[in-house]
């Protein structure tokens, strides 16, 4: 069993969070669209307003069903809803790196490798932490925080790792059930860990589908279905409590996005979401597969998120980034398994530079809408003034997207060549 995070790791994590928030406060201007509410944020704001006015929440589906964050805002910031969304989402986003540190600690001991995902998450421009300073009215931060906590509990419950903390296994299971129920009020994705847990009821093994028999349904272990039942019950309640405006069909939306998107677009979005550091997984895919075969629950989670990124909405990068708890584990696994290749001054320099550009560490996010012209991208638009939508594969100017895609591919080819054929191992590191 791995150790809990060290005090120094927690201190470093908190310092990173403070620094990111401070610089965001000083330099990142919020979106002005719809008086600072943004696009989808108009619906969440309307739900909060209805709560303040003691009305049944009424807004467009599916946004109207995500009542958790709007309700908290209405309770604690009824006289300043916009600032309420911003405050609550920044606080929730600030807790995610801490939870991520505990999550990574379940698998790895190295302080450097534990802090690496914290840095990547905190500095990425579209992560729930930085994005909340730009786009305050949304529902992701608390939902992602709960989702990460549910993955943490799923691991402990499934592996019987209750010795990791002071609570016993029964308390862990109860926490998993209750948090699933609470989580779906913030976003439907919080039911995913419960769904993965329910697959154990029929001994489903995604890495060996041939072994599955329909006779397994005759021997269902119902205890594994309880979290999922509570999650579905919570979703039903959210639908009962609100009045959706307009017609919305989950299957219809699913079909629409599958029709409009392409595999190439999603692959591009995956690289944009995580940056060139994800190339390490591509180059060592067998190591990634072997890790996921051992951690089958994480494999199922990754597949679900990848599918949702393809068919679950237009903001592909934001959705695909929900897989960060698994992707960062795979990156660390590949680094450990291929230390001699990774610890290459030339390779590290190229990946680090590409990652800094990709995460837009020294750049801000431009307002939307604006009158700026598209700029020549170097992986991403290297500017503070350009059309905001150029940051997204689904919405951006097609010439910008095509150029960005080929630049990422060229960088990947160069990195692959260095990774496999050039040996410059002058850096000493420890696991």
Count of CB atoms within 10 A of residue 35's CB?
11
Q: Are residues 364 and 279 in the same domain?
A: yes
Cβ neighbours around 271 below 10 Å, total: 26
> 50-54, 116-120, 312-316, 386-390: lowest mean pLDDT where?
312-316
Q: What is the DSSP letter of 29?
A: P
Do 303 and 360 lie in one domain? The reply is: yes
- Answer for the pair 58, 161: CB distance below 8 angstroms, yes or no: no
Q: Both 41 and 170 in a single domain?
A: yes
In the listed set 216, 248, 280, which residue is the last one of a domain according to the structure?
248
Q: How far is CA 416 from CA 266, 362, 398, in A?
A: 21, 27, 27
Q: Give the tens place of pLDDT for each residue, 179-214.
A: 999 999 999 999 999 999 999 888 877 877 666 666
**Same domain for 146 and 94:** yes
34 with 98, same domain: the answer is yes
> Which domain-ending residue is among 212, 227, 248?
248
* Whether residue 190 is found in the same domain as residue 313: no
Nearest Cα to 238, choosing from 310, 190, 198, 194? 190
Do 127 and 17 form a contact (C-beta atoms < 8 A)? no
Report the domain count for the chain. 2
Q: Which two tokens stand for residue 397?
A: 């100017």
**What pTM was estimated for this model as a whole?**
0.92
pLDDT computed for residue 211 by the predictor? 67
Residue given tokens 């505990």 in the structure block: 102
66 with 171, same domain: the answer is yes
Alpha-helical segments (H) within 241-294: 250-260, 263-274, 279-283, 285-294
Contact 304, 386 (CB under 8 A): no
Residues 345 and 416 in one domain: yes
Residues 6+ apart with CB under 8 A from 383: 363, 366, 375
- Supply angle C-alpha 59, 61, 63, rounded to 5: 75
What would the pLDDT profile of 248-274 be if each residue is shown by its tens digit?
Answer: 666 666 666 666 778 899 999 999 999
Taking 3-state DSSP, the helix, strand and coil percentages for the chain, each rounded to the nearest 5, stand at 70, 0, 30
Beta bridge partners of 378: 380
Same-domain status, 237 and 257: no
Q: Which residue has tokens 């992701």?
A: 140
Contact 85, 69 (CB under 8 A): yes
Last residue of a domain, one of 217, 248, 279: 248
Q: Report d(CA 83, CA 214) in Å as an integer.
A: 53
DSSP conformation letters of 77-127 = -TT-HHHHHHHHHHHHHHHHHHHHHHHHHTT---HHHHHHHHHHHHH-TTS
In this structure, are residues 138 and 41 in contact, taking their beta carbons and an 8 Å threshold? Answer: yes
Q: What is the pLDDT of residues 283-316, one digit of tens each?
A: 999 999 999 999 999 999 999 999 998 877 778 9
> pLDDT band at 164, cuts 50/70/90?
very low
Find the farthest-apart pair of alpha carbons in the chain and give their distance in angstroms, rounded. Answer: 67
From 150-159, 282-291, 351-360, the region with the lowest mean pLDDT: 150-159
The closest of 55, 59, 57, 48 to 82, measured between CA atoms, is 48
Same domain, 21 and 149: yes
pLDDT value at 276 more than 50? yes
Residue-by-residue DSSP string for 155-207:
HHHHHT-GGGSSS-HHHHHHHHHHHHHHHTTT-GGGGHHHHHHHGGGGT--TT
- Where are the strands (E) in 370-416, listed by range? 377-378, 380-381
* Residues 336 and 426 grouped into a single domain: yes
Q: Are the CB atoms for 110 and 430 separated by under 8 Å?
A: yes
- Domain range enclosing 257: 252-431
Give the whole-number percent of the chain exceeding pLDDT 70.
90
Position 63 pLDDT exceeds 80: yes
Q: Looking at the structure, tell me whether residues 225 and 272 fall in a common domain.
A: no
Q: Residue 2 has what DSSP assignment?
A: P
Using only the alpha carbons of the chain, give its radius of gyration: 22
Structural tokens at position 221? 């272990």
């Amino acid at each position: 069993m791995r150790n809990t995070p060290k005090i120094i790791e927690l201190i470093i994590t908190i310092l990173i969070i403070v620094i990111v928030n401070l610089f965001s406060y000083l330099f990142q201007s919020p979106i002005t669209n719809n008086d600072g509410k943004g696009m989808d944020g108009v619906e969440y704001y309307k739900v909060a307003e209805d709560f303040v006015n003691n009305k049944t929440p009424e807004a467009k589906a599916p946004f109207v069903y995500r009542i958790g964050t709007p309700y908290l805002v209405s309770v604690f910031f009824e006289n300043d809803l916009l600032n309420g969304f911003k405050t609550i989402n920044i606080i929730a986003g600030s807790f995610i790196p801490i939870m991520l540190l505990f999550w990574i600690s379940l698998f790895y001991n190295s302080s450097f490798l534990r802090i690496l995902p914290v840095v990547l998450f905190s500095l990425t421009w579209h992560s729930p932490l930085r994005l909340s300073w730009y786009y305050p009215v949304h529902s992701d931060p608390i939902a992602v925080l709960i989702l990460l906590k549910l993955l943490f509990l799923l691991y402990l419950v499934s592996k019987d790792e209750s010795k990791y903390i002071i609570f016993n296994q029964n308390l862990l299971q109860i926490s998993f059930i209750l948090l699933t129920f609470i989580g779906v009020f913030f976003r439907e994705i919080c039911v995913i860990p419960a769904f993965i847990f329910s697959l154990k009821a029929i001994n489903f093994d995604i890495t060996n589908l041939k072994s599955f028999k329909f006779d397994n349904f005759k021997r269902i272990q119902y205890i594994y279905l309880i979290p999922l039942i509570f999650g579905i019950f919570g979703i039903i309640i959210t639908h009962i409590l609100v009045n959706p405006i307009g017609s919305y069909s989950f299957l219809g939306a699913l079909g629409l996005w599958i029709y409009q998107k392409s595999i190439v677009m999603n692959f591009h979005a995956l690289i944009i979401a995580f940056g060139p550091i994800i190339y390490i997984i591509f180059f060592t895919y067998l190591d990634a597969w072997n890790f996921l075969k051992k951690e089958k629950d994480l494999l199922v989670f990754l597949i679900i998120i990848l599918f949702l990124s393809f068919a679950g909405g237009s903001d592909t990068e934001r959705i695909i980034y929900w897989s960060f708890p698994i992707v960062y584990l795979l990156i660390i696994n590949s680094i450990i398994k291929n230390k001699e290749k990774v610890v290459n001054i030339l390779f590290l320099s190229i990946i680090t530079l590409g990652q800094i550009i990709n995460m837009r560490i020294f750049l801000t996010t431009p307002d939307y809408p604006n009158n700026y012209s598209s700029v020549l991208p170097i992986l991403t638009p290297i500017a503070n003034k350009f059309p905001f939508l150029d940051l997204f594969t689904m919405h951006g100017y097609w010439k910008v997207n095509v150029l960005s895609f080929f630049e990422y591919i060229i960088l990947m080819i160069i990195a692959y060549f260095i990774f496999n054929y050039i040996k410059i191992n002058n850096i000493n590191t420890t696991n």
